[in-house]
């Protein structure tokens, strides 16, 4: 018979927080070359908000991060080295390290996306059946 493990008291110093991003304005909403708004950062990962309202005037190629773009509202066109993708609400796009990309959304668009950047490689899990 296995001996019971010792039970230890846990000191929880973190707290649960509700954060609204509906009224947040990332720099990329005002300028075509503006950055996303960092919401959360951790060791090797960041979660950012994008509300792009124009075409990026350049292509970007991250050599440090895989990037996942999760469209929450509206739509945007993503141009990549691997082809073009029209990303709509409820869809996500995985852009691996080293793949060049740029995004475009209309000025009157309601495009809003969460961008997750990870130093660790990401892959799609098996879809639920």
The residue extents of the domains of the chain are 27-118
| Residue 59 binned pLDDT confidence (cut-offs 50, 70, 90) | very high
Q: How many CB atoms lie within 10 A of CB 103?
A: 25
Residue-wise pLDDT for 64-97, tens only, equals 999 999 999 999 999 999 999 999 999 999 999 9
Q: Which residues pair with 85 in a beta bridge?
A: 78
Q: Global pTM?
A: 0.81
Task: Please state which of the four CATH numbers 3.40.1190.10, 2.60.40.290, 2.60.40.1120, 2.60.120.10 is assigned to the domain occupying 27-118.
Answer: 2.60.120.10
Closest CA to 48 of 69, 65, 34: 69
User: Distance between terminal CA atoms of the chain?
Assistant: 39
Tokens 């309601």 sit at which residue? 110
């Amino acid at each position: 018979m296995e001996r019971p493990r010792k039970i230890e008291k846990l000191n929880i110093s973190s707290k649960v927080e509700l954060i609204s991003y509906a009224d947040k304005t990332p720099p990329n909403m005002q300028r075509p070359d503006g950055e996303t708004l960092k919401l959360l950062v951790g060791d090797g990962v960041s979660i950012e908000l994008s509300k792009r309202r124009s075409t990026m005037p350049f292509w970007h190629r991250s050599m440090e991060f895989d990037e996942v773009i999760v469209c929450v509202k509206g739509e945007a066109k993503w141009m990549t080295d691997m082809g073009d993708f029209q990303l709509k609400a409820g869809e996500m796009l995985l852009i691996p390290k080293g793949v060049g990309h740029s995004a475009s959304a209309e000025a009157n668009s309601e495009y809003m996306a969460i961008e997750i950047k990870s130093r660790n490689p990401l892959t799609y899990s098996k879809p639920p059946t």
